[in-house]
């Protein structure tokens, strides 16, 4: 009986930590509904392109950096400035826990990304965007998605 309970608990935990990798068109629809298309002058293509090069559309992506901080979620938001890990006192300008950025519904990630764009005056915060998306024709990122 006890072994069955432990296995059930492990199964629940495995389900919670399972990553969600979105399709391009699913993200286009979510981002469009969330008001990201032309938010602060950045087209929907910019947001989709950035999410691809930052996380490959993986809502639970995490990147551990040399300085001890961690980039979280679909937009790879950094723990040092934008969110708070329980054991550290980061700046937390988005006023959220970093774990909230790993949620599959993307609400907190989108709210935080809007704050970043507003507070940093653009998408230059994201190196993936600067390297692969900035100044390019981004129409292909929403092509065929009916948004």
Delimit the domains of the chain by residue range. 19-141
Q: Hey, which CATH number is domain 19-141, 2.30.30.190, 3.30.2230.10, 1.10.8.640, 1.10.530.10?
A: 1.10.530.10
pLDDT at 136 over 60: yes
16-53 per-residue burial string, b: 16 or more CB within 10 A, e: under 16: eeeeeebebbebbbbbbebebbebeebbbbbbbbbbbb
pLDDT of residue 69: 94
Verify whether residue 71 is a known catalytic residue.
yes
Verify whether residue 18 is a known catalytic residue.
no
18, 37, 67, 71: which one is catalytic? Answer: 71
Helix (H, G, I), strand (E, B) or coil at 71: strand
Can you give the pTM of this predicted structure? 0.85
18, 37, 54, 119: which one is catalytic? Answer: 54
- Of 29 and 11, more confident: 29
Q: CA–CA distance from 19 to each of 38, 58, 130, 145 (Å)?
A: 28, 7, 26, 23
pLDDT at 8 over 50: no
pLDDT tens, residue by residue, 24-33: 999 999 999 9
Give the mean model confidence (pLDDT) for residues 34-39.
98
């Amino acid at each position: 009986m006890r072994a069955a309970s432990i296995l059930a608990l492990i199964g629940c935990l495995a389900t919670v930590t399972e990553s969600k990798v979105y399709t391009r068109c699913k993200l286009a629809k979510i981002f469009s509904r969330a008001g990201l298309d032309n938010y602060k002058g950045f087209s929907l293509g910019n947001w989709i392109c950035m999410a691809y090069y930052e996380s490959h559309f993986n809502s639970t992506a995490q990147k551990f950096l040399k300085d001890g901080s961690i980039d979280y979620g679909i937009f790879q938001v950094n723990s040092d400035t934008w969110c708070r890990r329980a054991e550290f006192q980061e700046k937390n300008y988005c006023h959220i826990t970093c774990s909230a950025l790993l949620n599959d519904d993307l609400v907190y990630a989108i709210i935080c990304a809007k704050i970043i764009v507003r507070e940093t005056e653009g998408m230059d915060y994201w190196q993936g965007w600067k390297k692969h998306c900035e100044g390019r024709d981004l129409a292909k990122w929403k092509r065929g998605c009916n948004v």
